[in-house]
Amino acid sequence: MRRPRFITLAAAAVLIGAMTFVVQSADRAATAAAVEPYSWKNVRIDGGGFVPGLIFNRKEKNLIYARTDIGGAYRWNQAGQSWVPLLDWVGQDNWGYNGVTSIATDPVNPDRVYAAVGMYTNSWDPNNGAILRSANRGASWQVTKLPFKNGGNMPGRGMGERLAVDPHDNTHVFYAAEGGNGLWRSTDSGATWAKVSAFPNAGNYVQDPADTNGYLNQNQGLTWVTFDDVTRDVYVGVADKQNNVYRSTDGGTTWARIPGQPTGYVPHKGVLDSVNHYLYVATSDTGGPYEGGKGQVSRLNTVTGEWTDVSPVKLSAGDDLYYGYSGLTVDRQKPGTLMVATQISWWPDAIFFRSTDSGATWTRIWDFAGYPSVSKRYTMDISANPWLDFNTNPQPPESTPKLGWMNESLEIDPFDSARMLYGTGATVYGTTQLTNWDSNTTFTIKPMAKGLEETAVLDLASPPSGAPLVSALGDIGGFHHADLDTVPASFHDTPSLGSNTSLDFAETSPGFFVRVGNNSAAPHIGVSSDGGKNWYNGQEPAGVTGGGKVAVGADANAVVWAPAGTDVHYSTTRGSSWTKSAGLPAGAEIVSDRAEPKTFYGYAAGKLYISKDGGATFTASAATVPATGPVKLHTVAGRAGDVWLAGETGLLHSTDAGATFTAVAGVGKALNVSTGKAAPGAAYPAVFTIGTVDGVAGVFRSDNGGAAWVRINDDAHQYGNAGEALAGDPRVYGRVYLGTNGRGILYADRTGGATSSPTPSTTASSSPSPSPSVSVPPSASASPSPSASTPAPASGCSATYRITGSWTGGFQGEVTVKNTGTAPTRAWSVGWTFGAGQVMNQVWGGTGGQTGTAVTVRDAGWNGVLAPNASTTFGFLASITGTNPVPAPITCAVTS
């Protein structure tokens, strides 16, 4: 292996490279698109994915971190009872950093935290892994790249924690690597790393050596590092069923296999009770997280060297033991109290065991009370996240909601014996009444996942009426999002399609929706007539094995489906019968024209295909399009033949139904494209794209059909692997919905600030107005009449208020300001009072806002000059809690 000197130099080069990248980004901005301030928020789902690690700091109360397998890392916000994302800065070039293999929080200096990142150890992730370090609790990070890959979403990812800080010298940090890469150590607080050559075993457990895709055939390596708080002893778990625990008694210089250790299993967790001098090890017969049928819990007396089997259910139970053990924790306030979880117990539920005598005896969180009856020590309250019942009503002994599955993380708060958190395959649960267990009093478990959004978003739809958003998600299907800031009551069901891959609605009849998914067997399609809230089974062609893509004609009288497993088909009966389409290859990307009901477009194998007969036949276009995918197609509401294509070669636009395409200048690579509500006064809808514009990667908006762009995200909001789904809102100007692979659904709104241009001089494209014709009507550009040189005549203005869109909890408004005087204005101010609890959140085309109930909006500078009888508009977003009357009076004053 490479010598420590090389690693030090490599780490230094990486840090210099990272600094250079920042400088280069700033330099590139000098010729890049303008930047407009935006607010980015998650559409609330709460949870949705696997949380393999929860890490409490043992010096500072309420300092807690969570790691996810594809959704980054989070820090707990006690005041808000929510999680704060820490890796949203991860971009397209290093998207794998959102797979977090391990986290360590410094037990001496709580400000310091470390994360081992990298998503896959095979070819799926092109980059090597890295160790991130932060001196401000994850608010910002420095990066040291490793000479190998990390597997935050690989088998064995629930084991750990693989990172640990030495409590006796917190400049020393250890990393137990997977992939046969051995043990690594930093002696400078994570800045540089070197392999510990003295560590004798890199592990040998492989889940499936015959796997050919590189996912199941990797060596799962080392599994955890644990320090003794009292001595200088360090313990490391190894994925080697015959040699699974090693110890150093000199701080990590020399190592030896601990004699007498149990064998035959993989050590998932190693937790040390330094008061009683016990090391507890939880094992399973696999690395997990999805499977595991046997295991044990062992206790090592670190003073005498004696090993004891303290398993709640021992191997001698035979078939009655159908699970391994993983989640393991000790109560730091009550030495001798510990808990362990089943690593996987699908039926009838997970099991947690608790001991108050160092593992000599155990009690269960639930017990059979005469099969199929079950007695429980707990109750579940999922009112905060009601979808966690998974739309099920099982027969006893199963119950809903379940305690969970894949319970690799289980932690008792080191400062509070009554508080416990644990992760599942879908969320984080917790209780603040855990000590009730010991007095045989029921305690309540609730979801604790607010702010932690970990879903893979495969498609999004924002119709012109009904709910503002309907989603298609991996694993949990998707939701009807009636309120973006409220967790939906249930996900798509009846039918349940597994991972939903695509959905669409009829543009002129938006109550009609179709969605498709990767169910293991039929059904693979659902149909809705109420805007995606309720669904019924559609029929499907023979041979369908997965969802693929679906498109709905503008008037709901045609549906085209390109499923997995069979050919493209079309339906004229809203999905109740299907006929094979001609001319379009299987697996095509498809969309419908949003104005011409019988027109559909498809892309496959480097060609664009067009159907004019509702999907019955497709004909290849002669237009030049990218020779290879992936490609995303988008069509514009109300505009027949208006097609956008995003691909590796950039962004293309057609206004003749795909006969020809024009490349959009300045756009390099485009991952996706969508359109939304037009800017005030603009004739063409706002266009959104995610990709590269003027050499800068980001999310962009154009208010003039792609002639000029503004970047609407920033380097702190990149979200890693994003863009598979993108949808502009047709009702709220400037709003866009962005789907990510792991950070859920984001929605972005203009914050009302002025667009800033990094160019030295102001140009039309960097004006705060969408276009000159919007900010200054033709009549406003007229020069003052000759009479302007005479004494100034009377001046005045009027303001007209109207609501342009509304939804549950909010609305969009627009105010038209008109010069009613006989001389040009130089500036104006509009005011009113909200009397029904309305709260203005954003404003564009003006400056100012709301104080108390009073609203004052002034011109934005560029639209302060109005010729006699000329007018301009400004818009705003506001929230409501009840009625929404139009305020009166609306005052307008010329201020200069």
How far apart CA 214 and CA 211 sit, in angstroms, is: 6
Q: What does the alpha-carbon distance between residue 286 and residue 283 come to, in Å, rounded to a whole number?
A: 9
1 neighbors 197 (Cβ within 8 angstroms)? yes
The answer to whether the beta carbons of residues 19 and 12 sit under 8 Å apart is: no
Torsion region of 612: left, alpha or beta (phi above 0 gives left; psi -120 to 50 gives alpha): alpha
User: What letter does residue 776 receive in the DSSP assignment?
Assistant: S
Furthest C-alpha separation in the chain: 106
- What lies within 8 Å, CB to CB, of 786 at 6+ separation is none
Q: What is the CA 545 to chain-centroid distance, rounded? A: 27
Three-state secondary structure call for residue 128:
coil
Catalytic residues: 69, 475
Whether 150 contacts 178, CB under 8 Å: yes
d(CA 38, CA 280): 49
CB 497, CB 512: distance < 8 Å: no
Cα Rg, the chain, nearest whole Å:
30
Q: What is the identity of the amino acid at 583?
A: G
Give the tokens for residue 123.
Answer: 């070819």
How far, in Å, CA of 707 to CA of 687, rounded? 10
Beta-strand pair 142-145/73-77: unpaired
Task: Tally Cβ neighbours within 10 Å of residue 539.
Answer: 14
Residues 6+ apart with CB under 8 A from 319: none
Amino acid code (one letter) for 265:
Y
Q: What angle do CA 869, 870, 871 make, to 5 degrees?
A: 120
β-bridge mates for residue 163, sequence order: 175
Task: Kindly give, in sequence order, each residue whose CB lies less than 8 Å from that of residue 629, ignoring residues fewer than 6 positions away.
Answer: 589, 603, 647, 648
DSSP assignment of 564-579, as one string? Answer: ETS--EEESSTTSS-E
Name the phi and psi angles at 523, rounded to 5.
-85, 155
Among candidate residues 299, 289, 353, the one with its CA nearest the CA of residue 321: 353
- The set of residues, in sequence order, having a beta carbon less than 8 Å from that of 415 and lying 6+ positions away, is 61, 62, 332, 333
Joined tokens for residue 884 = 């929404």
Contact criterion met (CB below 8 Å) for 469 and 481: yes
- Tokens linked to 765: 């494209």
Strands of the 443-447 sheet, one edge to the other: 378-380, 443-447, 428-431, 420-423, 410-412
CA-to-CA distance for 612 and 599, rounded, in angstroms?
4
